[in-house]
Amino acid sequence: FSSYNSSARVLLDADFSLHAAKIEVCRELDDVEALEKQFTYRSIEERLSEKEFKRIWEQCMLNSGNQTSILNIDEHFYSVQTELGKGWEKSCIVFYDKNEPIGMSIPHIETGTESEGRLFYFGVMPHYRGKGISSQLHLQSLHMLKEMGATYYIGSTHTSNEK
């Protein structure tokens, strides 16, 4: 973190203001196994409408630990379509507990790689936060990446996301 701090100091001294700071992590996926209790999920490819997916995504972003985005939901959705390319629909996933949406994930293989797994976005519905569900959903998302052919995962979050 020392090189980050010195780089940040140079920019702050040049009258830039800090908008957000991120931490990036890497994990091998060879030891990721399917959970005993998996939440059901639906993708846009199957039987989830784009409208419903965007509605849930907006709710997951609401008051999350991440810095508020300058993009609106339609711009985020367009980014998914253009950055993921053909087959993006299968990556847009909502998790359910019974029929209640509890979170969402957008697992994919990073463009230009064969085995780098990423989550374009991952979030939990506000009323399910703080109940231990996010770690289960994240692990289930990592397992999905492994099934897609990812051998490792690179993820990031804002340093303000302490949940």
Task: Return d(Cα 24, Cα 153) in angstroms, integer.
Answer: 10
Instruction: Identify whether 84 is part of a domain.
Output: yes
Please tell me the predicted confidence (pLDDT) of residue 30.
95
Q: Is the pLDDT of residue 2 over 90?
A: no
Domain CATH number, residue 131: 3.40.630.30
pLDDT of residue 7: 78
96 is a domain residue: yes
The stretch 143-161 carries a mean pLDDT of 88
CA distance 145 to 150: 5
Q: Is residue 16 part of a domain?
A: no
Q: For residues 50 and 58, is the Cβ–Cβ distance under 8 A?
A: no
At 64, the pLDDT band (50, 70, 90 cuts) reads confident
pLDDT, averaged across the chain: 90
Residues 130-144: tens digit of each pLDDT: 998 999 999 999 999
Domain residues for the domain of 139 are 25-158
Q: Which residues 6+ apart lie within 8 Å of 26 measured at CB?
A: 152, 153, 154
Instruction: For residue range 98-126, list pLDDT tens digits in order.
Output: 999 999 999 999 999 999 999 999 999 99
Question: CA torsion angle for 87, 88, 90, 94 (degrees, to 10)?
Answer: -170
DSSP string, 58-126: HHHHTT-SSPPPSS-HHHHHHHHHHHH-TTGGGG-EEEEETTEEEEEEEEEEPTT-SSEEEEEEEEE-G
Model pTM score: 0.85
Q: Is residue 11 part of a domain?
A: no
Total structural domains within the chain: 1
What is the rounded CA–CA span in Å between residue 51 and residue 57?
A: 10
- Asked if the structure places residue 17 within a domain, the reply is no
